[in-house]
Amino acid sequence: MPLISYGIKTGSGTLALGTLPPGVFGYLTNDISSSPSFIGLVVTSVFQPRWEGLAGGSWDIQVTTNWIDLITGLPQYFYQGTKAIFDDEALGTTNVNLVTTVNPGGVLVTNALLNYTISGVGRITGGGGLTKLGTNLLTLNTTNNNYTGPTYIDEGGILTSTVTNNLGTNSALTIGTGTLSLGANSQKFSVVYMTNGTIAASGAILTAGSYNLDNGSVNALLAGGSLTTFGTNTDLVSVIGGNTYTDRTYLAGSTLAVNNLANGGSPSGIGTSSSGPTNLVFAGGGLSYSGPAVAIDRGYNVESGGRLTASGNITLGGPITATAGNFSKGGNGAVA
């Protein structure tokens, strides 16, 4: 690969090879047989690691050959900066012992047959993020992962975190189709996107700047910023009561299902924002209430249509404003 072309080279200086991309190995060459002559880079190998687990199960840096080079098929070390791939081809252990701080160019776990557990005293850092694909389980049992890249779950993937705040530092969470299981372990994200998934929890608090939800269920208490629904009006996403997020609830697509409503400023299915109409906005989406009869001081704004359904009677005592669209009320409960 020519880098520098030249006619005549003078002087006694030499060129040194700088830092190559992670997993790329090579050397400089001076080709004087060509016209013009050139300084070139000869790439000797490109390493793409896949976990094999036949050398004891430790994830370390250039110590054990628990990896297979996807290009050569030969055992290999893990090098910082390379993408770490875990799939269904591993012949050894899938209980991965992370023994040090690793900075991969992303972690990709795509498993439909094998279950993976990553545990140990080490941590995953850097900007690469974590992607979980495939229908089998990945359990993260390390204690202090602080990667800043996104956490992405899709293709029915199941990701279980057994430690509080172990899914990066203020990273984004996206769930296409899949499940994040938190148990009682709270987690912070910069933003949460969920198209068709589940956030399973038993006492965990999820904190994010914004929640963007289409279809599925969230069993963690929601703290932080705002909540927006998107998608089609036939989709439904359920959240539990007692949420403490402080900004508005913006219903722009699917139906948000709640079982708890309360006065503005109090924890509820639609957070703790004030009772003003701009904090509960119907913009084509819906709100479905399945709790007992309730009278609260909440108002709402109909920005571009929406729907409110209830199984128990609801009295909304706050101001109501409207800009455009049709607003419908349904269910067995009366809405006033």
Long-range contacts of 132-136 (CB under 8 A, 24+ apart): 132/157, 132/158, 132/159, 132/178, 133/108, 133/109, 133/157, 134/87, 134/88, 134/109, 134/110, 136/111, 136/112
Burial 250-278 (b: 16+ CB within 10 A, else e): bbbbbbbbbbbbbbbeebbbbbbbbbbbe
pLDDT tens readout for residues 155-169: 999 999 999 999 999
> CA 144 to CA 131: how far, in whole Å?
18
Q: Using only C-alpha atoms, what is the Rg of the chain?
A: 27
The full length of the chain comes to: 336
Mapped onto helix, strand or coil, the DSSP state of residue 278 is helix
DSSP 311: S
Q: Which residues contact 200 (CB under 8 A, 6 or more apart)?
A: 179, 180, 181, 182, 219
Rounded Cα distance between 304 and 251, Å, is 10
- Give tens-digit pLDDT for 127-158: 999 999 999 999 999 988 999 999 999 999 99
Listed by start position, the domains of the chain span 1-46, 47-169, 170-336
Q: Map 61-89 to HEC letters.
A: CCCCCCEEECCCCCEECCCCCCCEEEECC
**Contact predicate 258/215, CB 8 Å:** no
What is the C-alpha to C-alpha distance for residues 171 and 106, in angstroms, rounded to an integer? 13
Bridge pairing between strands 37-46 and 75-76: unpaired
What is the pLDDT tens value at each position of the chain, 336 positions in all? 576 776 676 766 676 767 656 566 666 666 667 767 656 666 665 668 999 999 999 999 999 999 999 888 999 999 999 999 999 999 999 999 999 999 999 999 999 999 999 999 999 999 999 999 999 999 999 988 999 999 999 999 999 999 999 999 989 999 999 999 999 999 999 999 999 999 999 999 999 999 999 999 999 999 999 999 999 989 999 999 899 999 999 999 999 999 999 999 999 999 999 999 999 999 999 999 999 999 999 999 999 999 999 988 899 999 999 999 898 988 876 676
d(CA 192, CA 55): 37
For 264-296, write each residue's pLDDT tens digit: 999 999 999 999 999 999 999 999 999 999 999
